[in-house]
Chain A
Amino acid sequence: MSTSENGAGSAEPESYTLKVRRYDPESGETAYWHDYGIELDPARSVLDGILQVKDREDASIGIRCSCRAAICGSCSVRINGTTALACNTRISDAAAKAGSGQPIVVEPMNNFPVLKDLIVDMDAVHWKKVQRVVPWLLPDSDPPEREYIVPAEAMIDVTQSMACIQCGACVGACLSLEIDPEFVGPAALAKAYRFVGDPRDGQTEERLRDLAEDPHGIYDCTHCFACIEVCPKDVAPMSQIMRLRRRATADYAIKDKNNGYGHEKAFVDIIEKWGTLHEAQLLPRSFGDGSLVKGQTEPGAVKQLVESLPTAMRGLRSGKVSPKKALVHPKLPDQENVRHIFKEVHDRDERIELNLYIVGENSGDEEGAQAEGGGES
């Protein structure tokens, strides 16, 4: 709502072109593209670029923004096709990614209805999903006189999901949501972990059961990593979803009707046994409660098994899968090694969780490993 002329940057300004997707709901016309030339210090952000256009040329461009420092979560947009906060995307990086002579393409997030220009309807998608996970603490009893006594690590553990600024970037980038708009989605599930991982909450099992049984719940995630890649706060929503799954299966053995439990168990059993993913085994084992022999197939599972046949057929036709490859799994050189690693990890008492506030490092930082050692300097 305001302007950005914020005093001088240190470097010389350079010229860039922003190609912005405009949409005016009152005009009766469809969305269109418009190019804007800007002069900006290369260290400044795409948001600074947009604000410069608003300041100097056309203040009617709609974009939510406030803090300019990646803490308020207002300015999620797509830049050259990738969802990001405009305020912490460097204009020079965006230009480099666009390619020489090409404009920086800025458009509203995917998976949301557009209200105007770069402004999307967060309530209709994001906040509705957050509301779905009962997003408040539900202790079992009245609070203690002083603070709850909880392990320091537990608080650091949930701090990663507390770091979420509800910008919706992960929701905009989520591929599962593109296929199933009902998917509870990465942001809301990360929020759910914030309670499931919180020792003060008294509804851990109920929360997990709810999200495991929901056909659009934790097993609707396809593990594509898109949310982890776009998250500006390193919340790693997919990792939080995987933690919810581990809690649901390992801690509470929740055998959901979506076969999430069965599929995961099949996966693990196969790796343990063969040291490689034996796909011919995976399908029947997944739908058979994780075991071919004991095979108590869930009623819904038969239907799902049948439904997955066309996918298998397509795989056969395209040559991606051959009957021989599928049934007689080729032997890999490291299978023994994989089995060994499996045993090693499996036999540990502690569950190894990757958490940035514990290992203290950014997934994008190649020096990540050093942080774990403490790195005194």
Chain B
Amino acid sequence: MPQHDVLVIGAGLAGQRAALAAAESGASVGIISKVHPVRSHSNAAAGGINAALNPEDSWESHAFDTVKGSDYLGDQDAIEIMCREAPDEVLHLEHLGVTFHRNEEGRLGTRAFGGASAARTYYVADITGQALLHVLYEQLMKHDEVERFEEWFTTALVRDDTGRIAGAVTRNIRDGSLEVFTAKAVILASGGNGQVFTPTTNALICTGDGIAMAYRAGAPLMDMEMVQYHPTTLAGLGLLITEGARGEGAHLYNAAGERFMERYAPNKMELASRDVVSRAEQTEIDEGRGFPDGTVALDITKVPRQRILQALREIVNVGRDFAGVDITREPIHIKPGNHYAMGGIKTDVNGETDVAGLYAAGECACVSVHGGNRLGANSLLDTLIFGRRAGAHAARAGKGMAMPSPAGSELEREREAIDAIVARDRTGRRLSELKAEMGKTMDADCSVFRDEDRLRGALETVKRLQEEVNTVSVDDKGSVFNQDVLGVLELQFMLDNAECIVVGAIERKESRGAQYRTDFPERNDDDWLKHINLTVKGADSPEVSYSEVTMTQWEPEERKY
């Protein structure tokens, strides 16, 4: 039975950074991931990482942009920490070997990004997330004192008899064996839940596992209704076209050839924050000014061809391979698409949740630095800053503590649940049909524009699917790489996420950030400048409660771009 001071679940940027920080602080560390770490979805963060590193820039400016971008729902103490620590973190990564773009003097060079008042996005072509992820993995290979469990699927958290989180139940995907991993602290770094929506820019692995596990273990989820729709995704497939394209100078046009952002954000135009641009596009499409395939056009052709090929090579490939378009020569059709969960497991600035022994960092967590809307190039930063803080804090907290003993029979329960799924004969619909219904419902009724009636309908569908998934059967009856049975567990996780997203969206009777209620079209600071927390409570789940938004130096103002 593996034992570690700190157990990290998820090996994207937040998880790897947490593991390295915990090991540096002297803890024994295990890191578990259901895929090989370099397959993690941090890869997809193409555009860059924000830091006020330039002497003419300031962390306060970065923080204010982030606060404003969050539509004042972000916690300002957490945002201050993130922005203050950003420059050192970027330098640390540079020292580890990240091949950041240089300017002519050989110093770190920047590009512009949405919602930012200065060019403070550091980048590696348009593979920044990939470069960071692979460089951190180099460090994991170097520091073999961090024990890696690659292709292990965590099914549940376990407690000791004081109620403290004491480890996790995990299935070795290669042979199907189940183990209890014991730890003084567990850090969830398991990523977002984009697969709840169809389509999504998110990878197939982004199924909200950690968010659901924390919720089931009693940790509050915060601001789950805040779901970012990215302004530039390919219709149908949902693949991402990086904001870097607009950062490099690309424009948006409707079918009539109008640069419509003039009407919505006359100052920042295409580089307004993402919720603003997505709503503008969706309005154009809904009011009949889009193309027949329900899209608008992103035109990158005015950026010099060589610059595109150097700095946006990845989306040249995406356009060519997945849309049949040479983006250096013609516009590409795009639309808003599900992209990022601002909400997640409620944590403090050290990644601690409300449940003893349980931490969270990265997209699965909600500190909250993104509030109602995340700025581009702040997600990589979030993963690294709060991954590091969680790792270091968990390591410190565990010093002198005895190794806990997991109570109860969590392992047996999980084994029986999995065995029951495998043993069940087919009676109803296939797993894929359930997933498709969830994804399409969420995209139709809980996306850019929302209203109470449609949200109620979505909630009903989700609740029905929660029942139905408990009767679903699988084709694969084996133990080795049984992806089928894991798919059932993932859908159960996703449905918990979906329920909380819809409940949060129904609860918040205002329009703020990514939440736009056509029946409550105004921001309402008097009643709703607060976080919505959802906690499991038997049959009444989720129970709704509220917490204050932390303000330090920025009073809410009207948000204009």
Contact = CB atoms under 8 A, between A and B. Distances in A.
- Residue among B142, B435, B479, B481 having the largest count of chain A Cβ atoms under 10 Å: B481
A165 B240 CA distance: 17
Contacts of A70: 317-318, 321
B127 A162 contact: yes
Interface stretch (B100-108, B376-384, B457-465): B100-108
A7 B205 contact: no
Interface string B178-212: 00000000000000000100110001110100000
B75 to A, nearest CB: 30
B414 interface: no
Contact of A66 (B204, B328, B486): B204
Contacts of A88: 317, 321-322
19 contacts: A1-B204, A5-B436, A6-B199, A59-B431, A62-B481, A65-B204, A66-B203, A68-B239, A69-B318, A73-B38, A152-B109, A162-B124, A356-B309, A356-B313, A357-B125, A375-B306, A375-B328, A376-B304, A377-B305
B141 A69 contact: no
Contact of A60 (B195, B237, B476): B476
Contacts of B39: 64, 66-67, 72-74
A2 interface: yes
A6 B237 contact: yes
A7 B478 contact: no
B510 interface: no
A163 B439 CA distance: 32
B318 A163 contact: no
B340 to A, nearest CB: 15
A166 interface: yes
B41 to A, nearest CB: 7
Nearest to A63: B483
Contacts of A200: 97
Contacts of B207: 1-2
Interface stretch (B112-120, B130-138, B547-555): B130-138
A151 interface: yes
Interface stretch (B88-96, B350-358, B399-407, B445-453): B88-96
Contacts of B100: 147, 155
B107 A147 contact: yes
A147 B127 contact: no
A60 B432 contact: no
Given A152-B104, A162-B127, A357-B125, A5 B318 contact: no
Contacts of A358: 310
Interface stretch (A135-143, A215-223, A303-311): A135-143
Contacts of B205: 1-2, 66
A376 B301 CA distance: 9
B81 interface: no
The 5 residue pairs across chains A and B that have the minimum distance between CB atoms: A360-B309, A137-B97, A60-B476, A375-B305, A55-B432
B474 interface: yes
A43 interface: yes
A338 interface: no
Contact of B480 (A10, A71, A116): A116
A116 to B, nearest CB: 5
Contact of A69 (B322, B328, B478): B322
Contacts of A54: 432, 484
B484 A152 contact: no
B480 A26 contact: yes
Given A7-B440, A152-B103, A152-B109, A147 B204 contact: no
A220 to B, nearest CB: 23
Nearest to B87: A146
B490 interface: yes
Given A71-B314, A152-B101, A162 B131 contact: yes
A149 interface: yes
Contacts of A294: none
Given A7-B440, A68-B239, A2 B435 contact: yes
Interface string A124-155: 00000011000111010001001111111001
B250 interface: no
B216 interface: no
Interface in B12-63: 34-36, 38-41, 43-44
A116 B176 CA distance: 13
Contact of B99 (A136, A198, A371): A198
Given A55-B430, A68-B204, A25 B480 contact: yes
Interface in A292-324: none
Nearest to A148: B94
B478 A146 contact: no
Contacts of B478: 24, 26, 60, 116
Interface string B309-348: 1100110011001101000110000000000000000000
Given A66-B204, A67-B44, A198-B97, A59 B102 contact: no
A360 B430 contact: no
Nearest to A122: B36
B490 A1 contact: yes
Interface string A180-194: 000000000000001
Contact of B484 (A59, A71, A198): A59
Interface of B: 34-36, 38-41, 43-44, 91, 94-97, 99-109, 124-125, 127, 130-131, 134, 138-139, 141-142, 150, 174, 195, 198-199, 203-205, 207, 235-240, 293, 301, 304-306, 309-310, 313-314, 317-318, 321-322, 324, 328-329, 430-432, 435-436, 439-440, 443, 474-484, 486-487, 490
Interface string A1-30: 111111111100000000000001110000
Contacts of B328: 375, 377
Contacts of A163: 125, 127, 130, 313
- Residue among B39, B96, B238, B430 having the largest count of chain A Cβ atoms under 10 Å: B39
Given A116-B480, A146-B91, A377-B301, A159 B99 contact: yes
A115 interface: yes
B123 to A, nearest CB: 11
A72 B203 contact: yes
A68 B203 contact: yes
Given A3-B431, A3-B436, A67-B203, 6 more contacts: A59-B432, A117-B481, A135-B138, A139-B95, A151-B102, A360-B306
A71 B174 contact: no
B330 to A, nearest CB: 11
B44 A71 contact: yes
A1 B487 contact: yes
A9 B487 CA distance: 24
A162 B99 contact: yes
B99 A375 contact: no
Given A2-B435, A159-B124, A375-B305, A66 B35 contact: yes
B91 A137 contact: no
A361 B195 CA distance: 34
A56 interface: yes
A66 B204 CA distance: 5
Given A72-B203, A376-B305, A137 B483 contact: no
B495 to A, nearest CB: 13
Contact of A375 (B127, B131, B240, B304): B304
Contacts of B141: 130-131, 135-136
Interface in A64-95: 64-74, 88, 90
Contacts of B238: 6-7
B481 A115 contact: yes
A158 B321 contact: no
Interface string A318-359: 000000000000000000000000000000000000001110
Nearest to A233: B317
Interface string A97-110: 00000000000000
A72 B91 contact: no
Contacts of B97: 136-137, 195, 198, 200-201
